[in-house]
Amino acid sequence: MGKSKLRSPLIYAAICLVLVGSLVTFVLGCPGPERKLLQGSQITKKYNVEPTITVVDENGAKEQVKLEKYIEGVVAGEMKSGWPVEAYKAQAILARSYALQLLTKDGTQPAAGEISASHKAAQAYKPENITAPIREAVKETRGKVMVANDKFVKAYFHSAAGGKTAKAVDMGLVPKGQEPPYLKQVSAREELAEAKVKTWRATFPVTEVEKAARDTGVNIKGLKEIKVGRKDNGGRAVTLRLTHSGGVSEVNANGLRVGLDPEKMQSTMLTRINVEGSQVVMEGRGFGHGVGLSQWGAYTMAKQGKSAEDIIRYYFRGIKLVQLWK
């Protein structure tokens, strides 16, 4: 009897502690990774108000706009009219993440500053092309960004991969050893892409190719032969091997593409490249560097009933989608 009387208060106390703990858990919720990120990340603490930024056009003219208005113009500049809303929504989330990563220098500075309206320096900004579906897509994703390790994601995108997406380090977008872990190499799912991005052909004078190679730091003259050097695991050219009067040199294929004309040499997913007389002749598939989200892949997936989040998670691994402002 004595032992049972001593045990009872202890049992009752233990039960009370369990019940209180359960109540606290019920009220506060489980602190899983998503909740921890949403409630306590440095990003959500710093950037919970929509910023105003300055957009600089190609003539140097500056315009101050709210970020969401800027995103409308980017979606209108980066995607065509008449595309599925879910593709627009995916692009809006990427464009917002890309802009904030650039403007805040990985979240280390306030989300304000200047950004170019040119796709060559940042993202294409064409507010004159905004349509009602684009405006609605941006509204529905308002304040939503991609985050990894409490930093804004380098939200790379391109028009069409022409097969499999590429690594950022192979395309010269990041230094060696700094490949973002959230970037996937996947089949781009571009079944519904338009014909001109599925295949392309371009010719360049040999002298232009030599100059573009020199601009990348590879000094050549008297180009005799050009062929694909190293390929990635999707068949995309990572380097090009140039035989010239001074020997044999290798150049980063995407670096050469950018130096030549990325609108003509659409990609480094090459199916043919030769020196023919005074011309270099190229043929290939896709459009862009091939890293991150394929816009024509997003178009195809949206047409097949996939959501914006489905599309984003197909091209990016282990990212969080968080709401910065409402």
- pLDDT per residue as tens digits for the range 299-320: 999 999 999 999 999 999 999 9
8 Å CB contact between 181 and 318: yes
**Residue 206 maps to a domain:** yes
Task: Kindly report each contact of residues 275-281 with a partner whose C-beta sits within 8 Å and lies 24 or more positions away, as own/partner.
Answer: 275/206, 275/223, 275/224, 275/225, 275/226, 278/205, 278/206, 278/207, 279/203, 279/204, 279/205, 279/206, 280/203, 280/204, 280/205, 280/206, 280/209, 280/223, 280/226, 281/201, 281/202, 281/203
Domain, as residue range, for 201: 195-285
Residues 315 and 256 in one domain: no
- Provide the pLDDT for residue 35: 32
pLDDT greater than 60 at residue 13: no
CB 138 within 8 A of CB 92: yes
Q: In whole angstroms, how far apart are CA 182 and each of 54, 209, 315, 319, 324?
A: 29, 34, 9, 7, 20
Residue 297 banded pLDDT, cuts 50, 70, 90: very high
How many domains in the chain? Answer: 2
Same domain flag for 50 and 143:
yes
Average pLDDT in the 32-41 region?
38
- pLDDT at residue number 318: 95
Residue 15: the pLDDT is: 36
How confident is the model at residue 122, as a pLDDT? 85
One domain for residues 272 and 298: no
Please give the residue that has the higher pLDDT: either 58 or 128.
128
- pLDDT band of 240, cuts 50, 70, 90: very high
Is the distance from CB of 304 to CB of 197 less than 8 angstroms?
Answer: no
279 pairs with which residues across the strands?
A: 205, 276
Mean pLDDT throughout 30-46? Answer: 46
> Which pLDDT band, with edges at 50, 70 and 90, does 14 fall under?
very low
Portion of the chain with pLDDT greater than 70, in percent: 84
pLDDT in tens, 106-124: 666 666 778 888 887 789 9
pLDDT of residue 45: 67
Given this model, what pLDDT does residue 48 score?
A: 77
b or e along 70-95 (b: 16 or more beta carbons within 10 Å of the residue's beta carbon)?
bbbbbbbbbbeeebbebbbbbbbbbb
**Residue 73: its pLDDT value, please?**
96
Residue 144 in domain: yes
Smallest CA-to-CA distance from 193 within 218, 220, 160, 219 is with: 160
Q: What is the pLDDT of residues 129-145, one digit of tens each?
A: 999 999 999 999 999 99
Judged by DSSP in three states, 211 sits in helix
Residue 259 within a domain: yes
What totals of helices (H) and strands (E) does the chain contain, helices first? 11, 14
Per-residue b or e along 237-252, where b marks 16 or more CB atoms closer than 10 Å to that residue's CB: bbbbebbbeeeebebb
The answer as to whether 87 is a domain residue is yes
Contact 227, 258 (CB under 8 A): no
Give the Cα-Cα-Cα angle 74, 80, 84 (nearest 5 degrees): 100
- Indicate if 130 and 86 belong to the same structural domain: yes
Average pLDDT score over residue span 51-66: 91
Residue 136 lies in a domain: yes
In this prediction, residues 294-303 reach a mean pLDDT of 98
Length of the chain: 326
Rounded average pLDDT over 39-44:
56
For residues 25 and 102, which has the higher predicted lDDT (pLDDT)?
102
3-state secondary structure of 219: coil
Residue 3 maps to a domain: no
Q: Which of 8-22, 149-163, 252-266 has the lowest mean pLDDT?
A: 8-22
- For residues 49 and 138, membership in a common domain is answered with yes
Same domain, 228 and 279: yes
DSSP 30: -
Q: What angle do CA 210, 215, 216 make, to 5 degrees?
A: 100
Model confidence at 32: pLDDT above 70? no
